[in-house]
Chains A and B, each alone.
Chain A
């Protein structure tokens, strides 16, 4: 299997789906001639032309809404947000239109659109450019929300998102684009709504998604050396949550740590805890722990920036806590 960077895997998915379906087009800032702010759309303008790879003005609300309108009458737009921080300006179109059209029209309309772009902390970018915002979108009925961690999932889930008849919000990772992994060629489609056990274990379940998966993996490797076997469940989809997979892993290990890059209050992890405590309370051997970003805005200084985010050490500490181990 070829090894690809996350951004190359996304590029493959875009190209394959545009080849497969002429109703698919890509619109966003710098996606065409500049080849994408993060080079996800590299080479696509030359291949598909300017009617299908569209350089938009810096008008997030405007081109998000333009995409929604095109989706209402049968096209399948992909709207690239340079980063999700800027998509806050487009929130009205995503929430009040895309997510509600089918409902408001009593089932007459559908809105097959993908909003995608990088989320999560950048590197040394301070508070306006370093936010994990997925919890905001996971809140809204009418949307699907995905956040793949690996290149293979990025490709497979983007393909699913493009084929989906609903608005799909895709969080890529600003810090994930250069990560490498094996990616199946051609028709590789990963279903939306299915979590993935990325590492089997028996003592504790670490439940996470997106970039935090890599910290979980680091933590699991260190824990292994101490004789602790951690299972990692990568949620991949945040709406709808894969309840079955969450309950299955907790029933197996009886202990859970949830790792979320974003803030704790009203985070996605809070909903995962709710699922666990209401449906698997009797299976638990310890209260569920959450590791989240600190409840502050992101700083520029290296030490403050690092301290704000979850990392392997914080995850290990939480794991030890649910295992009632020394020093936790």
Chain B
């Protein structure tokens, strides 16, 4: 039977996963050469989650993440050199070197960051989804967070509102089984995170996050549900980080056997085998892509390394918006590329025609519950 996936899709997925893998290997190297500093969390092993998700989205859907945030923007199409420059703390980085590894933002590609407080991005995603609903747009917001973030109050507070207000947001818990050195089961009454959705009458499901195609299918289905206005989804992507929590963590809290076992599950060869077995691509085609990516990442590192630090005047920019000041468009600023930037309807054009609590329905329910108005 022929595969239902196009060659183009599979090669794109491979290209992106391999880009993330290679990018992160070079990040690790550069950190050890002290070109990168601070907290730096690698995405190696989890590539299928970001890539499978991204290919199921529209480019104008919103996405945001925690501090393990190099993979998602690369999947979205961010410039690898400018992401690397951000890690190097250079003025040519996406945030001019002000954010670093944990705060990648690329608004042109609708990647809204990069947050260092565990779970802090969860309410933001609901707000972005609220804005889409408010303006009657059909875009969805995808928010990634770790398994440990599911124990934050923000998780519970937000899900309650997101369901009650039918917000078009997909929460993807990247369950890599550890929050730093703590196995999630040690600190969680319900370690299968997706099951917590039921407490909020929310759609919840688990998916194999080590398989790019399964991620793709699951997110596609969730997006359809969300775009149709049926409300939020909690998806638990079961995945594994092959490296420590951050580049300096030797990860002694888990056994070598466990890691070896999980490495057999590597999403990159898995997708490749699928494509070759289904005769959608040849080994040679994969090799050619890999060579291209290696050159792309070499160029990214070189770009970062040769870029200057931000100027000291930058200290006094980007804290408060002055009247009439425009937003910074990174690729335009750094590469001179003309970019498409999000624009929103003005408050005079916008018509808010929907109800969060439709009056008649609310009155009926009040009556049933014996409430007075």
Interface residues of A (CB under 8 A from B): 20-25, 33, 49-52, 54-57, 59, 61-77, 92-93, 96-97, 101-110, 141-142, 144, 165-166
Contacts A22-B352, A108-B329: A64 and B123 contacting too (C-beta < 8 A)? Answer: yes
- Interface size of B as a range: 35 or more
Contacts A49-B352, A105-B105; A70 near B98 (Cβ below 8 A): no
- B331-373 contact mask (Cβ, 8 Å, vs A): 1 or 0: 0000000000010111110111011111100100000000001
Distance between Cα atoms of A175 and B55 in the complex (Å) = 55
Q: List 12 A-B contacts (CB under 8 A).
A: A20-B347, A22-B347, A51-B134, A59-B157, A61-B153, A62-B160, A66-B130, A69-B130, A70-B134, A72-B128, A73-B128, A105-B107
Given contacts A77-B127, A142-B320, 12 further A-B contacts (CB under 8 A): A50-B355, A50-B358, A61-B157, A62-B154, A66-B127, A72-B112, A73-B131, A96-B117, A103-B318, A104-B99, A108-B107, A109-B327
Q: A70 touching B321 by the CB < 8 A rule? A: no
A61 touches B123 (CB 8 A): yes
Q: Which of B35-43, B89-97, B232-240 contacts A (4 or more CB under 8 A)?
A: B89-97
CB–CB B357/A50 < 8 A? yes
B124-A69 in contact (CB<8A): yes
Across the A-B interface, give the 10 residue pairs with the lowest CB-CB distance, nearest first: A69-B127, A65-B123, A62-B157, A21-B347, A74-B344, A106-B95, A107-B328, A69-B124, A59-B157, A105-B105
Name the distance in Å between B353's Cβ and chain A's nearest Cβ.
Answer: 8
In B120-176, which residues have CB < 8 Å from any A CB? 120, 122-132, 134, 153-154, 157-158, 160-161, 164
Q: Is B267 on the interface with A (CB-CB < 8 A)?
A: no
B194 on the interface (CB 8 Å rule)? no
Docked Cα-Cα span, A104 to B120, in Å, equals 14
Residues of A within 8 Å of B62, CB to CB, are 73
- Of all chain A residues, the one with the shortest Cβ separation from B126 is A66
Closest beta carbon of chain A to B38's beta carbon, Å: 13
Of the candidates A54, A70, A92, A107, the one whose C-beta lies within 8 Å of that of B327 is A107
B320 touches A109 (CB 8 A): no
Q: Assess A22 versus B351: contact at CB under 8 Å? Given A62-B160, A102-B321.
A: yes
Contact A110 B327 (CB under 8 A): yes
**One of B116, B127, B317, B355 near A72 (C-beta < 8 A):** B127
Residue B330 at the chain A interface, CB threshold 8 Å? yes
In the complex the two chains form, what is the Cα distance from A65 to B89 in whole Å? 28
A97 touching B351, Cβ below 8 Å: no
Whether B255 is near chain A, meaning CB under 8 Å from some CB there, is no
The docked-state distance in angstroms from the alpha carbon of A51 to that of B160 is: 17
**Is B114 engaged at the interface, CB distance under 8 Å to the other chain?**
yes
Distance of A256 from chain B, by nearest CB (Å): 28
Contacts of B352 in A (CB 8 A): 22, 49, 51-52
